[in-house]
Amino acid sequence: MGTTGMSEQRSIGAILNLLGLLGISLVLTVAFFYQLALGELPCPLCLLQRAGFIAIGMGFLFNLRLGERPSHYAMILMASLVTGFISMRQVSLHLAPGDPGYGSALWGLHFYTWALIAAVGVVCYVALIFVWKDATGKREGDAPMTGFASNSVFAIFALLVAANLLSTVLECGAGQCDDNPVRYLLLR
């Protein structure tokens, strides 16, 4: 295979990881928008789901910055499974007839249900990346991706992580978060 083919494969792998990180950033942005614009503070399980999405995003980020490695994909898959289990736990808490659920809904589903769907979607996305790599015969990792697009998506993700960390500290302080938070603990 010539250098053009290797370059094309490398760029496709990097683009898929870039899109994965951008997708995770979108998930965090929507959750953060509802928190800030609608005043819906995340519950403790919601915060754990956000932490799970951050861990998923870190796996995609590692693939972009350090080059693709099976350990980075393992991190993405493990974080997706943990996030999915946390989401399933929260879904199961609201299965009783007449239970209105926690928080508002987006397109008829609560965010914890969307988190479960997204976690399963990430597992499927990584599986498709593996199928693509197998179909193209590319099994070794791609080189790190640099440039404006990569740096921009990294900056967006880093800002979202920092903002979520700050809002969590403001909401919970140094102790346990309220089960049904209505205001920021440190802003009282």
pLDDT in tens, 18-73: 999 999 999 999 999 999 998 889 999 999 999 999 999 999 999 999 988 999 99
Domain presence at residue 22: yes
Give the predicted TM-score (pTM) of the model: 0.88
Query: Which whole-number Å values give the CA distances from 150 to 15, 42, 107, 153, in the listed order?
Result: 9, 29, 31, 5
Percent of the chain with pLDDT over 70: 91
Domain presence at residue 7: no
Please state, in angstroms and rounded to a whole number, the distance separating the CA atoms of residues 80 and 100.
26
Domain presence at residue 40: yes
Asked if pLDDT for residue 183 goes beyond 50, the answer is yes
Domain presence at residue 1: no
Domain hosting 144: range is 14-179
- Residue 11 confidence class, pLDDT cut points 50, 70, 90: low
What is the mean predicted confidence (pLDDT) over 83-108?
86
Asked if pLDDT for residue 105 goes beyond 90, the answer is no
Number of domains in the chain: 1
Domain presence at residue 6: no
**Nearest CA-CA partner of 109 in 117, 120, 121, 97:** 117
- Residue 140 confidence class, pLDDT cut points 50, 70, 90: low
Q: Which residue has the higher pLDDT, 94 or 120?
A: 120
Domain presence at residue 39: yes
Provide the pLDDT for residue 7. 46
Domain presence at residue 18: yes
**Nearest CA-CA partner of 28 in 42, 14, 8, 7:** 42
User: Which residues make beta-bridge pairs with 109?
Assistant: 106
Provide the pLDDT for residue 146. 75
Asked if pLDDT for residue 10 goes beyond 60, the answer is no
Provide the pLDDT for residue 57. 97
Domain presence at residue 2: no
Q: Which residue has the higher pLDDT, 140 or 158?
A: 158
- For the chain, give the mean pLDDT: 87
3-state secondary structure the chain: CCHHHHHHHHHHHHHHHHHHHHHHHHHHHHHHHHHHHCCCCCCHHHHHHHHHHHHHHHHHHHHHHHCCCHHHHHHHHHHHHHHHHHHHHHHHHCCCCCCCCCCCEECCEEHHHHHHHHHHHHHHHHHHHHHHHHHHCCCCCCCCCCCHHHHHHHHHHHHHHHHHHHHHHHHHCCCCCCCCCCCCHHHC
What is the mean predicted confidence (pLDDT) over 99-124?
89
